[in-house]
Amino acid sequence: MTENTTSHSTDTATGTGTGTGTGTGTGTGTGTGTEDPGRAPLDRLRAAVRRTAELTAGRPRTGRGAEQADPTEGTFATDGAVGFDPFPFLHALDAAGSRAVLVGQVAGILHGSAELTGDLDLLWDGSPGEAEALRQALTAAGCTELPDLSDPRTAAAYRVTGATGDLCTPALDWGGLDVSGFPDRAVTALDRAPHGSRGSGPDGGRDGGQDGLAVRYVALDDLIRMRRAIGRPKDHRRADELERLRPTAH
């Protein structure tokens, strides 16, 4: 993975310190296979999606994608933020049984970050079985041109309804950081609604619907390590914020 590709694959930057109204509650844990109590992380993401829609309403598309994102400003200033809604893809990943882990700023929002974003990046293990699960999820979420997942040494860009991003593996260059153990330490946010109930998401129910949702995302300490290793201005700024979100010992 070249330096330029590294910048793209982890470039889930957000706006310029705009509040999402999501608060700073953590409750996210940093241990192995931790499950988040309650729906707070996904509610934070829903609030961020709503805030993004408000701030980008009427914004014309300019053709600027994640690869042209400013290293300080991030992808909130790109076309990816217009209509950004990761929930359809998150549901598709869950339904397909994918074990991919959310990284970048969507993971940061789930941990309590207040910055917004315009893309959704995932870390997967590069195995044939997981590649098939990802293809199923991509197709179900509206992807019309499936990315090539045959070479785990290359970040695969994707586009689905509501989101774009990169599918990354530990074989990429993560600034010298070994991320191979990160999926095993991932946190799981659970939003299991009672059968027949409706969700409270920005799409009127799809993102909390009849069967609920489980989302795996990188643990807080691992996300901080990723940010420090990549080392762009926005990464250090967000790592500083994430460090302030660490639970305090009582």
Q: What is the spatial distance between Cα 99 and Cα 45, in angstroms, rounded to a whole number?
A: 19
Q: Which of 20-24, 122-126, 172-176, 207-211 has the lowest mean pLDDT?
A: 20-24
Read off the pLDDT of residues 79-136 as tens digits, 9 standing for 90 and up: 899 999 999 999 999 999 999 999 999 999 999 999 999 999 999 999 999 999 999 9
Query: 170: Cβ–Cβ under 8 A, 6 or more apart, which residues?
Result: 123, 125, 126, 178, 179, 180, 182
Q: What is the pLDDT of residue 115?
A: 96
Q: Are 66 and 78 in contact (CB under 8 A)?
A: yes
First to last CA, the chain: 42
**Whose CA is closest to 234, among 5, 2, 7?**
7
pLDDT above 90 for 174: yes
Q: What is the pLDDT of residue 38?
A: 55
Quick one: pLDDT band at residue 12, thresholds 50, 70, 90? very low
For 8, what's the count of Cα atoms within 13 Å in the CB-facing half-sphere?
A: 21
Quick one: pLDDT band at residue 196, thresholds 50, 70, 90? very low
**Whose CA is closest to 11, among 86, 121, 99, 115?**
121
Q: Are 238 and 231 in contact (CB under 8 A)?
A: no
